[in-house]
């Protein structure tokens, strides 16, 4: 016990005295949350729109005002000639041109139907599709308000309800993702590097020639990082609930409980990496390339797993972060309870046991 306390104290000194690393560890989640929250977003807002109004009557002006009024578009210029469109797109003045044909209002009045032309820069297909959807929605609303309740035969109206995230806020998806990613970095990277560092600097040589058991060395490494990880989760949750207004709908204790299990899984993974390598660089490389990158790609929070080829979907099952992401999403955003996350928790525990087993088997009681 005395030994364990001495080791933990030593570990805390290491962490606290390496100011730069500590600053990065605490600063990284804050910067990421701020970045994702305010700068990076897959919502399309304030798209520059170039309008070619060939109709030019009171109705077409009203329609363009409607488009302008939405937060999605900024009208940056007006033209009359459809031939301008190509030049405008190339010059980068706007990514999208809206052409209102001369017969717009008369068609709408007489045939109840009018055509608009939308010319978009589709280099990014997602943006183009989103813009298209916005314009379609605006024009439908416009028709409905202009024409009132028209009794049209055979219309199907799709009423979509966005469950759990009615405003389609990107934050809802990335806050759990950022938590998973940060925990992966701190727990896997930091533990593996800090154990390998002891090997590299020769400290391990001294520790081996002593009555200490390997278990104490390892547990003492894990405890401070466990506490640090919980602290960082708290920072992320605090920031996301206050600044980004992402709710925690489920039980907060369950959230911390599941997070703790994921932290332990990641710590054992870090330990496993440290037993397999002898240099800090390689440990870092394995942690980043071998662990962090798959976590981002197959964790489910950047790219939806459902749309991946079958082989990759199966592969994504071996990424612990994916299960954690599912569980934390269920708890935080959907507000579900224990019964809906126990499967994920069991899988994470399985990973932990597997990693622990391999590392104990591989743990060197001598210098290699």
Partner 1 sequence: MISIRNINKTYGKKGDITALSNINLEVERGELYGLIGPDGAGKTTLFRILTTLILPDSGSAQVMDYDVVVQYPQIRKIVGYMPGKFSLYQDLTVQENLSFFATIFNTTIRENYHLIEDIYVQLEPFKNRRAGALSGGMKQKLALCCALIHRPEVLFLDEPTTGVDVVSRKEFWEMLKRYKEAGITIFVSTPYMDEATLCDRIALIQEGKILDIAKPKDLIEDFQPGVFAVKTAEMNRAKNELQSLDENVEAYHFGEYMHVVTENNHLTPKAISDFLDKRGHQEVIIKRTTPTVEDVFMNLMKHASTTTT
CB of 215 vs partner 1, minimal distance in Å:
13
CB of 128 vs partner 1, minimal distance in Å:
54
CB of 214 vs partner 1, minimal distance in Å:
11
CB of 238 vs partner 1, minimal distance in Å:
30
CB of 270 vs partner 1, minimal distance in Å:
20
Residue 127: name the closest of 79, 71, 75, 72 by CA. Answer: 72
Residue 96: name the closest of 121, 113, 76, 115 by CA. Answer: 121
Is the CB of residue 155 less than 8 Å from the CB of residue 120?
A: no
Tally of CA atoms within 13 A in the half-sphere of 151 that contains its CB = 0
Q: Which is nearer to partner 1, 118 or 208 (CB)?
A: 208
Q: Give dist(CA 11, CA 145) in Å, integer.
A: 67
CB of 274 vs partner 1, minimal distance in Å:
17
Q: Which is nearer to partner 1, 10 or 56 (CB)?
A: 10
Q: Which is nearer to partner 1, 82 or 208 (CB)?
A: 208
Q: Which is nearer to partner 1, 40 or 206 (CB)?
A: 206
Q: Which residue spans within the chain are E strands per DSSP? A: 47-53, 73-79, 96-100, 117-120
CB of 204 vs partner 1, minimal distance in Å:
8
Q: Which residue's entry shows tokens 């309740």?
A: 149
Residue 88: name the closest of 129, 46, 53, 50 by CA. Answer: 50
Residue 49: name the closest of 118, 127, 122 by CA. Answer: 118
| Binding stretches for partner 1 (CB under 8 A) | 2-3, 5-7, 9-10, 13-14, 17-18, 201-203, 205-212, 365-367
Q: Which is nearer to partner 1, 195 or 239 (CB)?
A: 195
Q: Which is nearer to partner 1, 18 or 141 (CB)?
A: 18
Q: Give dist(CA 221, CA 81) in Å, integer.
A: 70
Q: Give dist(CA 213, CA 216) in Å, integer.
A: 6
Q: Which is nearer to partner 1, 5 or 31 (CB)?
A: 5
Distances (CA, A) of 312 to 47, 166, 299, 304, 317: 34, 30, 11, 11, 9
CB of 351 vs partner 1, minimal distance in Å:
31
Return left, alpha or beta for 364; rule: phi > 0 is left, psi -120 to 50 is alpha, else beta: beta
Q: Which is nearer to partner 1, 14 or 143 (CB)?
A: 14
Residues contacting residue 97 through CB under 8 Å, at least 6 positions apart: 49, 50, 51, 52, 84, 85, 88, 89, 118, 119, 120
Q: Which is nearer to partner 1, 242 or 368 (CB)?
A: 368
Q: Give dist(CA 271, CA 283) in Å, integer.
A: 10
CB of 344 vs partner 1, minimal distance in Å:
39
């Amino acid at each position: 016990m005395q030994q364990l306390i001495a080791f933990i104290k030593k570990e805390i000194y290491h962490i606290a005295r390496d100011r730069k690393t500590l600053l990065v560890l605490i600063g990284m989640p804050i910067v990421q949350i701020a970045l994702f929250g305010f700068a990076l977003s897959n919502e399309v807002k304030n798209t520059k729109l170039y309008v070619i109004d060939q109709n030019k009557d009171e109705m077409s002006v009203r329609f363009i005002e409607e488009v302008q009024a939405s937060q999605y578009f900024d009208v940056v210029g007006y033209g009359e000639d459809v031939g301008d469109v190509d030049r405008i797109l190339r010059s980068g003045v706007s990514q999208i041109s809206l052409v209102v044909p001369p017969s717009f209002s008369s068609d709408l009045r007489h045939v109840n139907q009018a055509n608009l032309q939308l010319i978009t820069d589709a280099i990014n297909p997602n943006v183009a599709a989103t813009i298209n959807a916005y314009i379609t929605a605006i024009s439908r609303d416009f028709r409905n308000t202009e024409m009132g309740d028209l009794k049209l035969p055979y219309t199907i109206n799709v009423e979509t309800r966005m469950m759990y995230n009615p405003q389609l806020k990107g934050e809802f998806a990335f806050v759990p993702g950022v938590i998973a990613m940060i925990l992966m970095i701190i727990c896997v990277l930091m533990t593996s590097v800090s154990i390998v560092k002891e090997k590299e600097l020769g400290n391990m040589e001294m520790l081996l020639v002593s009555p200490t058991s390997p278990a104490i060395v390892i547990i003492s490494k894990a405890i401070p990082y466990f506490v640090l990880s919980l602290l960082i989760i708290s920072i992320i949750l605090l920031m996301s609930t206050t600044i980004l207004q992402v709710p925690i709908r489920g039980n907060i204790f369950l959230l911390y409980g599941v997070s703790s299990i994921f932290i332990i899984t990641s710590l054992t993974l870090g330990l496993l990496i440290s037993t397999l390598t002898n240099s800090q660089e390689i440990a870092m490389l394995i942690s980043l390339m071998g662990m962090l990158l798959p976590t981002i790609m197959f964790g489910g929070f950047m790219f939806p797993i459902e749309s991946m080829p079958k082989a990759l979907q199966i592969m994504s099952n071996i990424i612990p972060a994916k299960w954690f992401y599912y569980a934390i999403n269920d708890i935080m955003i959907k507000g579900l309870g224990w019964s809906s996350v126990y499967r994920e928790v069991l899988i994470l525990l399985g990973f932990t046991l597997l990693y622990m087993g391999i590392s104990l088997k591989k743990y060197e009681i001598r210098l290699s």
